[in-house]
C-alpha cells in the first residue's frame, strides 16, 4: 500500500475557503469583483485561519452558468483582471501560508468556445469530434437533465451539421468528448498551464459526468478510472503535493471507486454529500441519529485520501440522497416556501436564515462541522453569517456580494447598485446587521467564534488525521464522538435540541484523565472506570481534549 510522506498531505488538516472573485470585492469601482480586490482581502482570510483558497471559475465566459460556461481555458475574464493579477493573488496567498486551487471545468465548454464554433460549422472540422454527436433523433431524455426547470433534453439539434450534440447541463454548454485522445491531451495541457502559474491543485467539477462513457461517441473511453488515475499521476509529477478535490455526489460505495479504492490513487478528496444531507435531516428532527448513521457508513479510506465536509456550498443545497419523506421533512423545517426550493431536490438558502438567525444553533452547527473527521470547507460569507437573496434566480440566491461594511453596497463596491453582479442582501441579514468590519471589533461575534474554531481545529491533529468513533449515550438529540491520533484523544459533544442535557459517557481508555474544554473554560474529570458526565446547554457544544497526569499535551 502506497503511503505518501505526511509532509505532502497538507490538505489532511487544511481549512478550505471557496469564493467567487466576481462577488468578493470590487477594487476598480466598475461594479464587478476583481483580483486586485481579492489581493486586498487575503489578510482577512489569513486572519480567519484559511489555509487553502478555492477560486470558482475566473475564465472568460458568456455568463450562461455563472462562469461555468467557459470560452477560453487559458485566460482570465478581463472583467476580473489579468493573468498578472491572478499571479499576484497566488503570490500573496502563498506568502501568508495559503495554497490556492481553482475549478477545473472540463466536462463541457461554452457554445462560444472556438472549439465548438468550429465543430458545429462542419463535420469536417478538426474540432468536430471534440464533442459528442448523434445523427438520429434522440429519445426522450427529460429525466436525465441536470436543470429540469431550464432544459427538457440532453440533446440539441445543430442545423449546419444536421446532428444533435450532447449537453448534460445547459444547451449552451456542449459536453466535451473525453473519449477523444486529443481532448484528454488538452485537459493535461490546461492543468499544466495553471499549475505552472502557481496553483496547488483543482476542485474537479462534475466528475461522474466528465468520466461517463459518452453515448454516440465513435471511440470508447479507456477505463474511466484509469484515466482519472492518470490525471492524479500527472498532477503528482507537476506538483508533488497537489490536490484533486472532486465533486462526486454518489452513494459511498461508488465514491470509494473515485478515490481509487484500496490504492487511493485517483481523487485526493471528495465532498461528503451524504453526510451533509444527513446533517440537515438531523437538524430538522433534532435527532443526531441520521448523521451518526451516515458517518458510520463511510467506507474506510486509504491514508492518502480524505473527506471534505461542508455545511453550504455555491450550488443548491441538494437533498437528492434523502428519501421523499425525509426530503419533505427538511423542506418543511428549512424551506417551507416553494421559492426557497429548487429543482424539487434542494434548497437555495444559507444556513443562518434557515435557523432563523439563532446564534446558538448556528454556532453549534459550525462547531459540529469542524469537529467531524475530514477537511472543512467554507463558502464565502459563512464566517459572518450572511443570508440569501430569494429574489435572485436559482442558485444565485446564495452568490450575493460579500458584505464588508455597513456602508453602501456592503463595502463590496463604490459603483451604482444596478452595476453589481446582483443585489446585496437586504432585510435582517443586510450589511447593516451582518458585515466583516463590525464583527472584527466584536469578541462575541460569529467571526470571532469561527476564528476560535479554526484555531482549535488546526491545533487538533486528531480531527484531520485520527480514527473516528461515535460514542454511545442515551440522548437522541446528542452526537458524541471521539477522534484519536497518536497518543491524543479529542471528544466532541453536540446537542441538536433546545433543552439542556447531561450526557453520560464511557471512556474506558481514558480512566483517570481530565477532559479539558477547548472552546470555553471548564474541565470534566474521568473516573478511574472511564465514566464521565458532560453537561450541555440547549444547542450546546463542547470539544474536550483528554490530558493524563504528567502528560505534556496542552489542554
In tens, the pLDDT along 268-283 reads: 999 999 999 999 999 9
Report the C-alpha gap between 238 and 324 in whole angstroms.
45
Q: Which CATH superfamily includes the segment(s) 13-98+375-380+387-458?
A: Glycosidases (3.20.20.80)
Report the C-alpha gap between 191 and 237 in whole angstroms.
12
Indicate the average pLDDT of the chain. 95
Q: Are 529 and 545 in contact (CB under 8 A)?
A: no
Q: Identify the three-state secondary structure at position 529.
A: coil
Report the interhelical angle of 224-238 vs 252-259 (nearest 10°).
50
Active site residue 442: no
Average pLDDT over every residue of 360-377: 97
Report the C-alpha gap between 301 and 299 in whole angstroms.
6
Q: Are 154 and 164 in contact (CB under 8 A)?
A: no
CATH 3.90.400.10 region(s) of the chain? 114-166
**CATH number for the domain running over 466-547:** 2.60.40.1180
User: Of 205, 304, 389, 462, which one is the catalytic site residue?
Assistant: 205
pLDDT per residue as tens digits for the range 95-129: 999 999 999 999 999 999 999 999 999 999 999 99
Q: Which three cell numbers stand for residue 470?
A: 461515535
Q: Are 278 and 243 in contact (CB under 8 A)?
A: no
CATH 3.20.20.80 region(s) of the chain? 13-98+375-380+387-458
- pTM, whole model, 2 decimals? 0.96
Q: Identify the three-state secondary structure at position 351.
A: helix
Please determine, for residue 218, whether its predicted confidence score (pLDDT) is greater than 70: no
- Of the candidates 316, 297, 208, the one whose C-alpha atom is nearest the C-alpha of residue 252 is 297
Question: What percent of the chain shows pLDDT beyond 90?
Answer: 91
Whether domain 114-166 has CATH 3.90.79.10: no
pLDDT per residue as tens digits for the range 25-68: 999 999 999 999 999 999 999 999 999 999 999 999 998 888 99
- Of the candidates 166, 159, 150, the one whose C-alpha atom is nearest the C-alpha of residue 108 is 166
DSSP state of 70: B
What is each CA distance from 418 to 32, 58, 424, in whole angstroms?
11, 22, 10
Residues 6+ apart with CB under 8 A from 412: 23, 24, 25, 26, 33, 401, 402, 403, 404, 420, 424
Q: Which residues of 355-373 are buried (b: 16+ CB within 10 A; e: fewer)?
A: beeeeebbbbbbbbbbbbb
DSSP state of 113: S
Label the pairing between strands 201-204 and 243-246: parallel
pLDDT per residue as tens digits for the range 235-249: 999 999 999 999 999
Active site residue 304: no
Task: Give the per-residue pLDDT at 8.
Answer: 84
Label the pairing between strands 269-271 and 201-204: unpaired
Average pLDDT over every residue of 211-224: 67
User: Of 20, 103, 247, 304, which one is the catalytic site residue?
Assistant: 247
Amino acid at each position: 500500500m502506497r503511503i505518501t510522506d505526511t509532509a505532502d498531505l497538507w490538505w489532511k488538516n487544511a481549512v478550505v475557503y471557496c469564493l467567487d472573485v466576481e462577488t468578493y470585492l470590487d477594487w476598480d469601482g466598475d461594479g464587478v469583483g476583481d483580483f486586485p480586490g481579492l489581493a486586498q482581502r487575503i489578510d482577512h482570510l489569513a486572519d480567519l485561519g484559511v489555509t487553502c483558497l478555492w477560486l470558482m471559475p475566473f475564465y472568460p465566459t458568456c455568463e450562461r452558468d455563472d462562469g461555468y460556461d467557459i470560452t477560453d481555458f487559458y485566460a482570465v475574464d478581463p472583467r476580473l483582471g489579468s493573468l498578472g493579477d491572478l499571479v499576484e493573488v497566488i503570490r500573496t496567498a502563498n506568502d501568508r501560508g495559503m495554497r490556492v486551487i481553482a475549478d477545473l471545468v472540463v466536462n463541457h465548454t461554452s457554445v462560444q468556445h472556438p472549439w465548438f464554433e468550429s465543430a458545429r460549422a462542419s463535420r469536417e472540422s478538426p474540432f468536430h469530434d471534440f464533442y459528442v454527436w448523434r445523427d438520429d433523433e434522440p429519445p426522450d431524455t427529460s429525466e436525465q437533465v441536470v436543470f429540469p426547470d431550464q432544459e427538457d433534453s440532453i440533446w440539441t439539434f445543430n442545423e449546419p451539421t444536421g446532428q444533435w450534440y450532447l449537453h448534460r447541463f445547459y444547451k449552451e454548454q456542449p459536453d466535451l468528448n473525453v473519449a477523444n485522445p486529443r481532448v484528454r491531451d488538452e485537459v493535461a495541457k490546461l492543468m499544466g498551464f495553471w499549475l505552472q502559474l502557481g496553483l496547488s491543485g483543482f476542485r474537479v467539477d462534475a466528475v461522474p459526468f466528465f468520466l461517463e462513457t459518452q453515448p454516440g461517441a465513435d471511440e470508447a473511453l479507456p477505463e474511466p478510472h484509469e484515466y482519472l488515475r492518470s490525471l492524479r499521476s500527472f498532477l503528482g509529477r507537476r506538483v508533488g503535493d497537489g490536490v484533486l478535490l472532486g465533486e462526486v455526489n454518489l452513494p459511498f460505495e461508488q465514491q470509494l471507486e473515485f478515490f481509487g479504492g484500496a490504492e487511493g490513487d485517483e481523487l485526493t478528496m471528495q465532498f461528503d454529500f451524504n453526510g451533509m444531507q444527513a446533517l440537515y435531516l438531523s437538524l430538522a428532527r433534532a435527532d443526531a441519529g441520521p448523521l451518526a448513521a451516515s458517518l458510520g457508513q463511510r467506507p474506510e479510506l486509504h491514508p492518502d485520501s480524505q473527506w471534505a465536509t461542508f455545511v453550504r456550498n455555491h450550488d443548491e443545497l441538494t437533498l437528492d440522497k434523502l428519501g421523499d419523506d425525509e426530503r419533505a421533512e427538511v423542506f418543511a423545517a428549512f424551506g417551507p416556501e416553494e421559492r426557497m426550493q429548487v429543482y424539487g431536490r434542494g434548497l437555495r438558502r444559507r444556513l443562518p436564515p434557515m435557523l432563523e438567525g439563532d446564534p446558538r444553533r448556528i454556532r453549534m452547527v459550525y462547531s459540529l462541522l469542524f469537529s467531524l473527521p475530514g477537511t472543512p470547507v467554507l463558502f464565502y460569507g459563512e464566517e459572518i453569517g450572511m443570508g440569501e437573496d430569494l429574489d435572485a434566480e436559482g442558485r444565485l440566491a446564495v452568490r450575493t456580494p460579500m458584505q464588508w461594511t455597513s456602508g453602501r453596497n456592503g463595502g463590496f463596491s463604490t459603483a451604482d447598485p444596478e452595476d453589481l453582479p446582483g443585489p446585496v442582501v437586504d432585510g435582517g441579514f443586510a450589511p447593516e446587521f451582518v458585515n466583516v468590519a463590525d464583527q472584527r471589533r466584536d469578541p462575541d461575534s460569529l467571526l470571532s467564534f469561527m476564528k476560535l474554531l479554526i484555531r482549535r481545529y488546526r491545533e487538533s491533529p486528531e480531527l484531520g488525521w485520527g480514527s473516528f468513533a461515535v460514542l454511545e449515550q442515551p440522548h437522541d438529540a446528542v452526537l458524541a464522538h471521539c477522534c484519536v491520533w497518536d497518543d491524543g484523544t479529542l471528544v466532541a459533544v453536540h446537542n441538536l435540541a433546545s433543552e439542556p442535557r447531561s450526557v453520560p459517557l464511557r471512556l474506558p481508555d481514558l480512566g483517570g484523565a481530565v477532559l479539558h474544554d477547548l472552546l470555553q473554560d471548564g474541565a470534566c474529570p474521568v473516573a478511574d472506570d472511564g465514566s464521565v458526565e458532560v453537561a450541555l446547554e440547549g444547542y450546546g457544544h463542547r470539544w474536550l481534549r483528554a490530558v493524563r497526569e504528567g502528560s505534556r499535551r496542552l489542554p
